[in-house]
Amino acid sequence: MDKRTRLEKAFGLELPDRPPILGGWLASPEHIWNLTGCSEDEYWSDPFEWGLRAERVLGSDGVINVFVPVARGAYRCVDHNVLDERARYSVEDVLAEIEALPEPEEIEAGFDLEAEYAGFAAELRARQAQCGDILWCPADWSMIPQSLWYAKYGYESALTALALYPERYRKLIRVSAVRGRQRALLRARAMGEGIHPRAILTGEDICTQRGPMVSPEFLRREYFPLLEYVLEPVLQMGAKVVWHCDGDYRPLLGDVLACGIGGLQGFQRECGMDLEWIVDLRTRDGDPLLIFGPLSVTTTLPHGTPGEVRAEVHKAMDLCRDKASLVFFTSNTITPDVPLENIRTYWRTVLESRW
């Protein structure tokens, strides 16, 4: 079975010859150098291409992206410049930017679907051509409303503005919802034309290891109805929207699934997000979940033995069998503390598995 067919089977809740494996979150340049044999200078001349070659060496069926660190010598997607930019915002700055935003109706009126789609489709085709037989399955973190906005304004200013001025803050969420739906319209059209997979990874980090950062009642009132509105175009195309679940997401899983989410990804066991009970959940239509996971980048991969990595792969297959559609993926980015031997073992074990 070829890679595309294997993933399409799993996305459609059918059983392929073996569980597919998604890559794209290999966040250690050193691992990529070792896997591909490239030099540091060669890597930095085209980090996307060399990251993609590493996925090919490992044997990935698809990639949700190719992780590129923010700068040479780094392995993260943020650095002190990003953090300093967030720190400069005060609550007053947040409110001023909210006031300066166009109204959601203006954003809707100014959207040129044909012009936007031309560029979007061209980029999809170009990336797939670059990926070759590996399926390009791009995640889209902007295809949803943004509820907390700490990624731009920092935690203190963003959450203080939300707490003190919820009526004004609502505009941020509504504006992001309009823009998210526009992205959903682009993806839905691309699915209809057969150039976009019918599964998308998205989500927002709303929870810490102790639960939601803000009141679930606020999210149910202001956020989840807009999430459902945003997802409508891709859900009408039969897509599975897979939700990224960092932290303890248990208090919100019912709300997320009620919005039409068809799959989950993340699963920090240390936060109670255990695959044992997650596989029994169902979508709002009663379908099994599409699981992207569950290899942990906080426990098994960095600290386990190769034997424990193999056991985790086999356990995930046993748990999902006849209950959920499994696509192997990691809980988050694979950082330099993960031994390369464990990475190779993880991929090799999946590739050698059969249902």
Tell me the DSSP string of 183-237.
HHHHHHHHHHTTSS-SEEEE----EETTEESS-HHHIIIIIHHHHHHHHHHHHHT
ω before 138 within 30° of 0 (cis)?
A: no
Each residue's pLDDT tens digit, 2-23: 999 999 999 999 999 999 999 9
Strand 290-292 and strand 325-327: pairing? parallel
116/121 Cα distance (integer angstroms): 9
Each residue's pLDDT tens digit, 39-51: 999 999 999 999 9
Quickly count: other Cβ atoms within 10 Å of residue 178's Cβ.
20
Q: 85 pLDDT band (50/70/90 cuts)?
A: confident
* Cβ neighbours for 220, distance < 8 A, ≥ 6 positions apart: 255
Average pLDDT on 92-103 reads 97
189/233 Cα distance (integer angstroms): 9
pLDDT at 83 over 80: no
Each residue's pLDDT tens digit, 325-353: 999 999 999 999 999 999 999 999 999 99
The pLDDT assigned to 296 comes to 94
The pLDDT assigned to 45 comes to 97
* Mean pLDDT of the chain, nearest integer: 96
Average pLDDT on 299-320 reads 97
Each residue's pLDDT tens digit, 251-309: 999 999 999 999 999 999 999 999 999 999 999 999 999 999 999 999 999 999 999 99
What is the domain partition of the chain in residue ranges? 1-72+289-355, 89-238
The pLDDT assigned to 73 comes to 86
Each residue's pLDDT tens digit, 154-202: 999 999 999 999 999 999 999 999 999 999 999 999 999 999 999 999 9
Quickly count: other Cβ atoms within 10 Å of residue 121's Cβ.
16
* Cβ neighbours for 108, distance < 8 A, ≥ 6 positions apart: 178
pLDDT at 84 over 80: no
Closest CA to 231 of 194, 262, 196, 206: 262
